[in-house]
Amino acid sequence: MVEVQALAVEKVTELARQFRVDSIRSTTAAGSGHPTSSMSAADLMAVLMTGYLKYDFDRPDYAYNDRLIFSKGHACPLLYSMYKAAGAIDDKELMSLRKFGSRLEGHPVPKIIPWVDVATGSLGQGLALGVGMALNGKYLDKLDYKVWVLLGDSEMAEGSVWEAMACASHYKLDNLVGILDMNRLGQRGETALGWNSHAYAERAKAFGCHVIEIDGHDLKQIDDAYKAAVKVQGQPVLIIAKTEKGHGIPLTANQDNWHGKPLSAEQAQEAIKLLGGESSITIKVAAPPQMPAKAQLSAEITGSGKYAAPHYSAPAATREAYGDALKALGTAYADVVVIDAEVSNSTYAEKFAKAFLDRYFEMFIAEQLMVGVGLGLGTRGKKAFASTFAAFLSRAYDFIRMGAISRGTIKLCGSHAGCSIGADGPSQMALEDIAMMRAIHGSTVLYPSDAVSTARLVEAMYHLDGISYMRTTREKTKLLYKEDETFPIGGSKVLYSSKDDAVTLIAAGITLHECVKAYEELKSQGINVRVIDLYSVKPIDVKTLETAAKETGHLVVVEDHWPEGGLGDAVLDAFAAQPPSRGEKISSKKMPNVVKIAVREMPGSGAPHELMDAAGISAPHIVATVKALLG
Amino acid sequence: MVEVQALAVEKVTELARQFRVDSIRSTTAAGSGHPTSSMSAADLMAVLMTGYLKYDFDRPDYAYNDRLIFSKGHACPLLYSMYKAAGAIDDKELMSLRKFGSRLEGHPVPKIIPWVDVATGSLGQGLALGVGMALNGKYLDKLDYKVWVLLGDSEMAEGSVWEAMACASHYKLDNLVGILDMNRLGQRGETALGWNSHAYAERAKAFGCHVIEIDGHDLKQIDDAYKAAVKVQGQPVLIIAKTEKGHGIPLTANQDNWHGKPLSAEQAQEAIKLLGGESSITIKVAAPPQMPAKAQLSAEITGSGKYAAPHYSAPAATREAYGDALKALGTAYADVVVIDAEVSNSTYAEKFAKAFLDRYFEMFIAEQLMVGVGLGLGTRGKKAFASTFAAFLSRAYDFIRMGAISRGTIKLCGSHAGCSIGADGPSQMALEDIAMMRAIHGSTVLYPSDAVSTARLVEAMYHLDGISYMRTTREKTKLLYKEDETFPIGGSKVLYSSKDDAVTLIAAGITLHECVKAYEELKSQGINVRVIDLYSVKPIDVKTLETAAKETGHLVVVEDHWPEGGLGDAVLDAFAAQPPSRGEKISSKKMPNVVKIAVREMPGSGAPHELMDAAGISAPHIVATVKALLG
């Protein structure tokens, strides 16, 4: 049980009033934004900040701090008003809301704003991220911090919220408190459930939450709710607060057509007057507990610190090597955490799970949740590896996209890529995952072809910031490399080359092995080709590709992926120029002739080699293409 | 209330037995597949098929047929065994399961198999698609067919299932019956809720379902459940059936490690013996009602049949033109249906909603649901247009991917694309949507730049099969075209060209207007450039691009999108060769110099022009790039 400050009603009233005034002021100055969505939650946040939140604004990364997530990110005028009241920003900065160059963007963004942990603005994501932080507090760092998540009622329509709730109750996350700002009104009108608190309550209870229903403008009820919430054990809490959108002034209170709309200057002036005028009171937010002297947080890296790569002497599936590597990472580093969406026996994440059960969390079949939890763990310094079939990561694309906006870190692995998985059919075949992951800002996209390179690249992923992705293969593939080989991010490997290479074959994963077969066949026919292992799809090894283009003229890219957005497009992009940064001349690159061999028709079921043949991505097709090129 | 056949226990028992035998036989012959996931639901399907399903296997598209969705698509050996029992396929075809060339793929796929409506295999999707079909039955075609959805218990972890349930109860879909095959075991072990029928029941009730809990191997209880289910009014039904995975033989019944694993030949022989041997009984499935003579289904196209494009005389946002066009389509064609994820006042889908409320369905903030419902409507012949912010369509990527595998039809519109939306910040900016949508098999990707072309392209989308996507812009843009202009899919428009164009500028959407400004500035400096409106991003107008490359040498592609997978990559791809189809020589295309001007850093908030300037995609940057190119 935690100690809480006594509630000072007057102070809290004053604070809530200021939040409303500041939300109006900042959005009117911005000419856009969401004052009314802020006003509905002002009382909730005023009580939280005065009596319950334990946070050191001078040390936002301090491990003992509570975490506060505005899942309804559009209510950030309220969040920023809280920062002002905490003395973290001044009024001038508050008034820079949404202006170019201001760190107070239209939706909260971490790093830029040090007190924000995760970017929100795509609704329904905050709770999953909070689950990641709460899992960390309860099971990994074992710290008593609370994770407070302010939820909008519109976003309760997103299934991801219920995935998060199910997970939170499964893992008995009593350190997670959701605060539902049930203001009845969505963007375009009433929500599906309106003010039906009972309906939300029944749903949340059925999903394992301890539910507290209150009037979200009654300070005493709010205080009682938090007081009860922090004492709940063994369950996450959802406080359902009935509120009015735009509460505080008749103009906006519970009125239609006030979503995402600032008051005019005149309306704002009137409203501020009604609310009692501008102010700049500050309050001292309760301090989190002091870190014990010589505290050994598990967040600090322990373990051997030495990654011992697994050994291979026979063909192995890269997905299995991924599992081996995770286990080796787990031994080396105590901050490695693994999550999987109920397919750990296929992705081989189970190898880690069996060795380090205390650092493995089962997400069941909920990929959005999985990515959200991984990003949440990342905010607490954990190196989270999340895996499922690559095809099913498409389920989490919005979460991954938001992860990049969060400047978050997560290591994703998608197994069972491409038509080469065989009989399961196209629903299980990722054929768009590279396109999807390349288009994530700042992402790293890796696609190893053998067990040795997989094991090395998983190690590299551990050290990467941002969103990284590894594509693995279902089938066993031959070993291509010796154990002392290195695989720098942004590099490639030239497997075969000679002075008289007529064509360069470029591939990664299972099609690289088809290229090797094609190389051998062509060689037997007296045709030399170069073969490049493009294990680092993003960043890509421009230099090696340019050399190959210059020396061989023709680049043939072979991939078990749709022609859009995959290896072929990545190679083409390596030859595109960029605009000049300081007015210098753009040097035209010599564009090679590029042939893209990719999957162009919807595959069905069959044996891997049958499907690769049918898709035209197997060795005979590569040989035929090279010969057609050379006329 | 519908009439049902009397239950003939012996016949049903025999049928269920045969389903189990055939599920074992076919998967053992295939060497892969999911016999145990089929065996758990065999009794449920035997009773359904004998007593409740009304379906004419000779006319799978018949509007009065019930629909049956295996949301747990991996249980298709059971589904295919049902087809055999219905006489739709023979035993020989059944035994071709998962073999190359067989239409009985590892997960069910429509069109190839005429009795399958939607592809499943990515879990958690079937119910949303069923909601689309049920909405059609209840509100559009107004037919009494039932939509039966067989659900797995593992997939109940997907939030999309709960989105579908919330929508089904919101729209009182009493023609939708979910059958939950609660066999306790997922792929890698027990599900989160195991056999906790009560927990599922509480959740489903809270989400508005009428719930019936039964023993899924007790034929009488199953029959009673269906009998009750078809009588329920005003609510969807969920039958929660406690079952055993692998039920029927001790080897597999409720045993671990039997997911997705066929029995060995010896195990199968023994199992079939235990189950009473092979058989090939057929049953007559109850016929759906006869279509009344001269029935006028609303599914048939009525309306004026003539699309009257909206008129424009001043700058307008393409998103608003989308809304205008939808409304005009609604007048012309009665089979146009519009859905939106709670942002219809931003996407302008509300223009349709206000005019045709009976053909508009609100999906609230649930994009996966929205796409699933749209695809479900599409299976019943409706032309469903689904819109939200383009950024949030990323939420539905797996559903869109599966829609392509379904050979399904849906018309998607993503508004608020790119950094040019301004102050709301990056969470609301789609910068990866073109990459995402290009990598959907068979997709059409459109990106109009003015209201006139938008209105014409929306009309074109109405007539398209498959997955089509339109990207619209938040800001108002100038009119570029006269009303009699045509915009064929796969075409482009050359806005400016001359004999001495030194460079070609290629863009679509808001950046096209920046190119026009750059053209004017460059012209004033004596530099002629060509300007191409690439409104059809996929398929792309290769010929016009080749001509431009030949005549101007340099192509500068300008886009409000990440550099990966967008217009730039689409243009580069137009110059890549494909492998030879019949051994002919590949003609090397002359590769132009391509410069990609795209968004390369994470945008913040600000005015549209500030953000476009900061991203380097505005006219001054284009001018500078052209001048740098020309040295």
What does the DSSP assignment read for B242-301? E--TTTTSTTTTT-TT-TT-PPPHHHHHHHHHHHT-------PPBPPPPPPTT---TTS-
Contact yes or no for A573 and B563 at CB 8 A: yes
Give how far A93 is from chain B: nearest CA, Å: 14
Residue located via tokens 């009989």: A423
B371-410, pLDDT tens digit by residue? 999 999 999 999 999 999 999 999 999 999 999 999 999 9
What gap in Å lies between CA A407 and CA A387, rounded to an integer? 20
| Interface confidence: ipTM more than 0.90 | yes
Closest CB to B398: pick one of A121, A394, A431.
A394
Q: Do B449 and B513 meet the contact criterion of CB atoms below 8 Å apart?
A: yes
Q: Find the catalytic residue in B158, B320, B367, B559.
A: B367
Residue located via tokens 């539905």: B396
Please tell me whether residue B88 adopts helix, strand or coil conformation: coil
Q: Do B414 and B387 meet the contact criterion of CB atoms below 8 Å apart?
A: yes
Among B165, B185, B215, which residue's Cα sits nearest to residue B74? B185
What gap in Å lies between CA B220 and CA B234, rounded to an integer? 25
pLDDT at residue A580, rounded to an integer: 84
According to DSSP, the residues that pair with B235 across neighbouring strands are none
Report phi then psi at B478, rounded to 5.
-65, 155
Q: For B197-217, what is the mean pLDDT?
A: 98
Contact yes or no for B188 and A119 at CB 8 A: no
Chain B residues with CB inside 8 Å of A102's CB? 604-605
According to DSSP, the residues that pair with A177 across neighbouring strands are A148, A237
pLDDT at residue A300, rounded to an integer: 47
Chain B residues with CB inside 8 Å of A128's CB? none
Sheet holding A67-70, edge to edge: A67-70, A147-152, A176-182, A237-242, A210-215
**How many CB atoms sit inside 10 A of residue B301's CB?**
13
CA B137 to chain centre: 19
Structure tokens at B489: 């899919």
Q: Find the catalytic residue in A350, A367, A459, A559.
A: A367
Q: Which residues of A265-303 are buried (b: 16+ CB within 10 A; e: fewer)?
A: eeebeebbeebeeebeeebebbebeeeeeeeeebbeeee
Q: Is A380 an interface residue toward B (CB < 8 Å)?
A: no
Mutation target vs A (from B394, B434, B467, B503; most A CBs, 10 A cutoff): B394
Residue of A nearest to B30 (CA): A423
Closest CB to A157: pick one of B102, B166, B605.
B166
Active site residue A475: no
pLDDT at residue A8, rounded to an integer: 80
Q: Do A352 and A325 meet the contact criterion of CB atoms below 8 Å apart?
A: no
Low-confidence ranges of chain A (pLDDT < 50): 1-6, 298-300
Q: Is B586 an interface residue toward A (CB < 8 Å)?
A: yes
Please tell me whether residue A340 adopts helix, strand or coil conformation: strand
Please tell me whether residue B434 adopts helix, strand or coil conformation: helix
Which band of pLDDT confidence, cut at 50, 70 and 90, is reported for residue B267? Answer: very high
Which residues numbered 156-185 in A keep a CB inside 8 Å of some CB on B? 157-163, 166, 170
Structure tokens at A141: 């760092």
pLDDT at residue A76, rounded to an integer: 98
What gap in Å lies between CA B366 and CA A495, rounded to an integer? 47
Strand pairing report for B237-242 and B316-317: unpaired
Asked whether residue B587 carries a pLDDT value surpassing 80, the answer given is: no
The two most distant CA atoms of chain A are separated, in Å, by 89
pLDDT at residue A591, rounded to an integer: 81
What gap in Å lies between CA B329 and CA B420, rounded to an integer? 28
Chain B residues with CB inside 8 Å of A366's CB? 157-159
For helices B265-275 and B9-30, give the axis angle rounded to 10 degrees. 170
Residue located via tokens 């039955």: B137
Better-predicted residue by pLDDT, B624 or A7 = B624
Contacts of B543 (CB under 8 A, 6+ apart): none
Report phi then psi at A300, rounded to 5.
-75, 145
Contact yes or no for A32 and B436 at CB 8 A: no
What gap in Å lies between CA A193 and CA A240, rounded to an integer? 13
Closest CB to B368: pick one of A159, A161, A566.
A159
Which residues numbered 414-453 in B keep a CB inside 8 Å of some CB on A? 422-428, 431-432, 435-436, 438-442
According to DSSP, the residues that pair with A533 across neighbouring strands are A493, A507
Structure tokens at B173: 């879909």
What gap in Å lies between CA B174 and CA B313, rounded to an integer? 47
Contact yes or no for A573 and B568 at CB 8 A: yes
What are the contacts of A599-603 at 24+ separation with CB within 8 A? A599/A418, A599/A419, A599/A431, A599/A559, A599/A560, A599/A561, A599/A562, A599/A563, A600/A562, A600/A563, A600/B578, A602/A426, A602/B404, A602/B405, A602/B407, A602/B441, A602/B442, A603/A419, A603/A425, A603/A426, A603/A429, A603/A431
> What is the DSSP code (8-state) at residue B470?
E
Half-sphere CA count of A426, side-chain side, radius 13 A? 28
Among A631, A547, A560, which residue's Cα sits nearest to residue A596? A560
What gap in Å lies between CA B352 and CA B222, rounded to an integer? 43
pLDDT at residue B583, rounded to an integer: 59
Which residues numbered 62-91 in B keep a CB inside 8 Å of some CB on A? 73
What gap in Å lies between CA B535 and CA B452, rounded to an integer? 12
Residue located via tokens 């090395």: A456
What is the value of pTM for the model shown?
A: 0.97
Cβ-Cβ contacts under 8 Å between A and B: the total is 405
pLDDT at residue A585, rounded to an integer: 77
pLDDT at residue B4, rounded to an integer: 40
Task: Report the amino acid identity of residue B629.
Answer: L
The CA–CA distances, whole Å, from B437 to A194, A223, A532, B446, B617 equal 34, 48, 29, 10, 22
Residue located via tokens 């998103």: B319
Q: Is A559 an interface residue toward B (CB < 8 Å)?
A: no
Q: Do A444 and A468 meet the contact criterion of CB atoms below 8 Å apart?
A: yes
∠ Cα B46 B50 B56 (to 5°):
115
pLDDT at residue B50, rounded to an integer: 95
> What is the DSSP code (8-state) at residue B335?
T
pLDDT at residue B329, rounded to an integer: 97
Contacts of A41 (CB under 8 A, 6+ apart): A72, A75, A78, A150, A179, A181, A183, A216, A241, A243
The CA–CA distances, whole Å, from B518 to A388, B318, B513, B551, B556 equal 46, 21, 9, 19, 12
Write the burial class of residue A607 (CB in 10 Å: 0-12 exposed, 13-18 middle, 19+ buried).
middle
Closest CB to B394: pick one of A401, A442, A588.
A401
Q: Is B106 an interface residue toward A (CB < 8 Å)?
A: yes
What gap in Å lies between CA A254 and CA A39, rounded to an integer? 11
Asked whether residue B231 carries a pLDDT value surpassing 80, the answer given is: yes
Which residues numbered 225-284 in A keep a CB inside 8 Å of some CB on B? none
pLDDT at residue A581, rounded to an integer: 74
The CA–CA distances, whole Å, from A77 to A37, A40, A94, A125, B289 equal 9, 12, 8, 19, 58
Contact yes or no for B98 and A441 at CB 8 A: no
Half-sphere CA count of A401, side-chain side, radius 13 A? 32
| Total residues belonging to chain A | 631
